[in-house]
Amino acid sequence: MTIALGFLALILATLLGWLLKQSFNTQPWVAEVVGETAHQGPLGTNSRLIALLTLLAVVSSFFALILSAYALRMELGDWVPLTEPQLLWINTVMLILASIVFQWTRNAAVKDQQSRLAPGLVLTGLLTTAFVVGQLVAWQQLQSSGQLITNNPANAFFYFLTGAHAVHIVGGMYVWARATAKVVLGKGDAPSIARSIELCTIYWHFLLLVWLVLFGLLLST
């Protein structure tokens, strides 16, 4: 459990370093909009970076607290380990692929390869949706086998952890949908879209790492 919490802290520290690097080493397409974003206040590029960083810090703290509670509750005698559905392995692959495709799309945006943006974003959305739907199916499989949320604390924590992670994924899908709509409809300037895609990519990578920590923990306990 200590390793899991330490890994979450490492995730946040790594992303913090990445964001700071991006802030101090502005890329060419970001420089093009410095004049436009400098006067936008809360909507400016730097503010968007800070907002994302704050969100990641809050999410990391949230899951760290839940994992701490998980470790404490697991010590009590009524804890009965849950048999995780094998479907979770397929769901994990879907989320890994979504993160990879998002990175590919982000690289295309940086290089101003506009033809790759729409396919990349759509494919990312499909893979991410497959992950969320797969999680719901996994819940149904557990309920069909009689492993309900009220059966024991291990079940309750499984449903809560996977549900909380899925909610954060769905929240990210809202931002993804806005960026995808701009690309498909041809609205918005290229630098702004590229920045949105890059920030979304960071968020997807973060949630993938969080899921790997949660999945590994659930499998081991």
Residues 94/214, Cβ–Cβ less than 8 Å:
no
**0.85 exceeded by pTM:** no
The number of folded domains in the chain is 1
The string of pLDDT tens digits covering residues 150-187 is 888 888 889 999 999 999 999 999 989 988 998 888 87
Domain span at 64: 2-220
Residue 70: count of CB within 10 angstroms of its CB: 23
Gyration radius (Cα) of the chain, Å: 19
CATH code at 96?
Answer: 1.20.120.80
pLDDT at 25 over 80: no
Which whole-number Å values give the CA distances from 181 to 42, 124, 184, 196, 210, in the listed order? 22, 14, 5, 12, 27
Residues 82/141, Cβ–Cβ less than 8 Å:
no
Residues 30/197, Cβ–Cβ less than 8 Å:
no
